[in-house]
Amino acid sequence: MLTTTQLDQTTIAKQLAEAIATFNILRLSDLLSDDGEFNIKNENNETLNGNKADFINWLQIKIDEYLFVNDDSERLIYIIDQCLHCRIGNPVIIFENGSFPVRTKDPWQREKCGLMLEFKDSLICGITFCYLFLKADNPFLFEKECYRRKK
């Protein structure tokens, strides 16, 4: 009889966070579902849904860009929070205080972005950019919303 071990979402989220934080693309690939949907940004900074290969390629580019500027870095700093908007309670990994892998083009913008995870059968079947967190503060999001309402 074959026995399988089901990993809980917290463990999988920590494993993914460590894989990305240590730039371990092979480990990252093992944690993603082959038929999942994963957010990526195109050259116009538009959010698109990509497949596993698209996400891995996009993330590798972001890692290369990060290491080009931070060549002495051995790992990323991260926290695991929870989504407070579209999938309330789902884990959100916030790297480098929300500035990796999505960076704003304007340095005055301080909007933080995290990777919100969705799960199926002990794998990550979806990664969505998340901007509203349970514990981490995202003050620029509030400033941006106030500016929209003021217009």
| Domain span including residue 68 | 9-150
Q: Does the pLDDT at position 107 exceed 80?
A: no
Whether omega before 139 lies within 30 degrees of 0, making that bond cis, reads no
What is the tens place of the pLDDT at every residue in 35-45?
A: 999 999 998 88
Predicted confidence band at 136 (pLDDT cuts at 50, 70, 90)?
A: confident
Confidence of residue 151 (pLDDT cuts 50, 70, 90): low
Report yes or no on 109 lying in a domain: yes
Q: Is 63 a residue whose pLDDT tops 90?
A: yes
pLDDT at 148: 46
Q: What pLDDT, on a 0 to 100 scale, did the predictor assign at position 116?
A: 97
For residue 35, tell me if it sits in a domain. Answer: yes
Domain total for the chain? 1
On whether residue 142 sits in a domain, the answer given is yes
pLDDT band of residue 108 (cuts 50, 70, 90) is: low
Q: Which of 24-33, 121-130, 131-140 has the least mean pLDDT?
A: 131-140
In a domain, 3, yes or no: no
Residue 16 belongs to a domain: yes
Q: What is the CATH number of the domain that holds 16?
A: 3.10.450.50
In a domain, 17, yes or no: yes
Structural domain includes residue 1: no
Give the mean model confidence (pLDDT) for residues 37-65. 96
Task: Give the mean model confidence (pLDDT) for residues 98-109.
Answer: 74
